[in-house]
Amino acid sequence: MDCQMLSPAKKEFIEFMMGADVLRFGSFVTKSGRQTPYFVNTGNYKTGLQSSRLGEFYAALIQETVGDGFDAMFGPAYKGIPLAASAAGALARNYNIDKPFFFNRKEAKDHGEGGSIIGYKPADGDRIIIIEDVITAGTAIRETMPLLTSCADVKVTDMFISVNRCEVGQTPGKTAVMEVGEAFGIRVHALITVQDICEYLREQGTYGDILPLMEAYMAQYCVF
């Protein structure tokens, strides 16, 4: 299977993820129930430096694609919460784009301030961007959208993820990212794709046992 050329920036991000034990190789089961030879667990980011650097990667992509053309960013519980917070901080520090962020509770709170949304309170007409880790089968975004639209008459324009796994979703021949775009009108931007990971392994020349598994998995589940 052909893999695409790997840019220095993408190589840097892949090595950053591997150094944080976020990108792992082996045998895993995804949320969609697929057996996969690689796994991305952003819950393994656990130091201040890692969080700060991760936010810079996201902020650079946000600045490059949408700039300041949005009103707030949303981080879905749980893994999206620190991602949105770190991205918001990096946008303000590096690009002078100071935008609010908010996130949700898994279960609504019935005391104190109540509700399921914490942080910024969306208003009608707001343009919202979502900060997430990965999209595999699109399950999480389908759960997120009703939550956001129930807050106010908002428009979710873009979504930013670490890795586009390029995997088929619920419709044969279409990836979950394609389905999200068609169903909700959301543009999805990824720091890297599974093809980038494949090319990285090929360039390194030391992953002879993993590369064939990656290529077989891509042939079975991925759409390019």
Q: Look up the CATH number of the domain holding residue 210.
A: 3.40.50.2020
**Which residues make beta-bridge pairs with 104?**
117
pLDDT at 97: 98
Residue 95, burial from CB neighbour count under 10 angstroms (0-12, 13-18, 19+): middle
| pLDDT value, residue 96 | 98
Whether a cis peptide bond, with omega within 30° of 0, leads into 78 is yes
Query: Is 29 within the bounds of a domain?
Result: yes
Residue 178 in contact with residue 169, Cβ under 8 Å? yes
Number of domains in the chain: 1
Could you tell me the CA-to-CA distances from 31 to 7, 34, 134, 135 in Å, in that order? Answer: 29, 8, 11, 10
- Domain presence at residue 148: yes
Instruction: Give Cα 191 distance to the centre of its chain.
Output: 8
198 within a domain of the structure (yes/no): yes
Q: How far apart are CA 82 and CA 184, in angstroms?
A: 24
The pLDDT value given to residue 169: 82
Answer whether residue 57 is part of any domain. yes
| 3 belongs to a structural domain | no
Determine the pLDDT at residue 134: 84
User: Cα–Cα distance between 105 and 213 in angstroms, integer?
Assistant: 37
Contact criterion met (CB below 8 Å) for 124 and 153: yes
**Domain range enclosing 64:** 8-221
> Which pLDDT score is estimated for 109?
55
1 occurs within a structural domain: no
Reported as a single tens digit per residue, the pLDDT across 120-170 is: 999 999 999 999 998 766 777 888 899 899 989 999 999 999 999 998 888
> Given the structure tokens 């089961």, which residue do they identify?
29
Residue 101, domain member (yes or no): yes
pLDDT below 50 — which residues of the chain?
Answer: 1-2, 111-112, 114
| Domain presence at residue 36 | yes
Catalytic residue ranges: 109, 111
What is the three-class DSSP state of 192?
Answer: strand
